[in-house]
Amino acid sequence: MAMTELPELLSREEMKKNKIPLQYRDRCARLWIPLTKCRQDTFSVPWKCNQERHDYEECEYLDFKRRVKELELIKADMKAADLAKRALDDE
């Protein structure tokens, strides 16, 4: 099942309660919890938890694409502001 949008962001309290390490506290933390639980329940057997791992990795990829798009918008805004400033300076 393909993910179309990112899951809701967990609150700090929820992340702390679930003992999510700092490096995993992002938009995909909600999917990290069942993945970690599955890995603990199956003693990290590689062929188990495939769906949970797939969902988490897909979420990370979508979040990466979102951040790239956000950066492109910021760069475009900065370029437009720079061009506007140059136009004002030329006058």
pLDDT class of 4 with cuts at 50, 70, 90? confident
Q: Which residue has the tokens 């590689």?
A: 46
Q: How many CB atoms lie within 10 A of CB 74?
A: 10
The answer on pLDDT for 88 being more than 90 is no
Angstrom CA distances, 33 to 21, 28, 57, stand at: 11, 9, 13
pLDDT score at 57: 97
As for how many domains the chain has, the answer is 1
Task: Examine residue 7 and state whether it is found in any structural domain, yes or no.
Answer: no
CB within 8 Å of 27: residues ≥ 6 apart: 6, 7, 9, 59, 63
For the stretch 37-87, pLDDT in tens is: 999 999 989 899 999 999 999 999 999 999 999 999 999 999 999 999 998
Residue 52 covered by a domain:
yes
- Domain range for 40 is 13-90
